[in-house]
Amino acid sequence: MALVDLLDAFASNEPVPGGGSAAALAGALGASLLIMVAGLPKTRTGAPEEAADLAEASARLRPLRDSLLELVDDDSRAYAAVLDARRLPKATDAERDRRRAAIEAAMHGATRVPLETMRFCQQALRGALVVARHGNPNAATDAGAAVELLVAALRSAAMNVDVNVKSVSDGSFAERVAAERAELASEGEADAARARARLATA
């Protein structure tokens, strides 16, 4: 899809793509910027170890970027599954039971997808520390933009986790999700703060 078509899709009054897809896209953009800075021929001091660390960071960031890009569509599919489940017939007890089970399964999926987005954004923010530490100082604003995009993605995905898990009746699943969501948010925000501090000295 061309960029303008993607933006038009987000701007349309269709239910998808929505905020969850936008979060994943923002994360993919942030990871892409980190890959760009990590691949520049000049590092912070020119030391060979810096180039090696940046190359390793880039190798780890690339699959994260690709996974976040896949989640743009995955989030739309997950929400579409919720809509389909809610449209199931409910005239009889059997139909109501099937509908409840379908909605529960769909809400599990709609919760897992933004949680995945959070996981990949948190891992990318860990990579941002390496890029901030060793990357070319002339690209500090690019790395800074990457950090802010990833934080926005992390927070946006967390909002989607929060709203979707409320509709899940499986208490143990909801507890596990809440615990992981809090951990990912805390670790991601901490890494972002450290990266920002390092970039401020570039």
Hey, is 53 helix, strand or coil? helix
157 is in which domain, residue-wise? Answer: 18-199
Asked whether residue 92 is assigned to any structural domain, the reply reads yes
Asked whether residue 181 is assigned to any structural domain, the reply reads yes
Asked whether residue 40 is assigned to any structural domain, the reply reads yes
Three-class HEC string of 125-193 = HHHHHHHHHHCCHHHHHHHHHHHHHHHHHHHHHHHHHHHHHCCCCCHHHHHHHHHHHHHHHHHHHHHHH
At 79 the pLDDT is 96
Contacts of 56 (CB under 8 A, 6+ apart): 130
Give CA angle at 123 (157, 126), nearest 5°: 120
Instruction: Inform me whether the pLDDT recorded for 30 exceeds 90.
Output: yes
- Give the pLDDT band (50/70/90) at residue 2: confident
* CATH code for position 171: 1.20.120.680
pLDDT tens track for 161-197? 999 999 999 999 999 999 999 999 999 999 999 999 9
Asked whether residue 110 is assigned to any structural domain, the reply reads yes
> Considering Cα of 79, then 114, then 20, then 3, what sign does the dihedral take?
negative
Task: Report the 10 Å Cβ neighbour count for 13.
Answer: 4
pLDDT tens track for 190-199? 999 999 999 9
Mean pLDDT in the chain?
97
pLDDT tens track for 46-86? 999 999 999 999 999 999 999 999 999 999 999 999 999 99
Instruction: Inform me whether the pLDDT recorded for 138 exceeds 90.
Output: yes
pTM assigned to the model: 0.95
Task: Report the 10 Å Cβ neighbour count for 189.
Answer: 15
The Cα 16–Cα 32 span in angstroms is: 24
The Cα 16–Cα 36 span in angstroms is: 30
- Considering its fold, how many domains does the chain have in total? 1
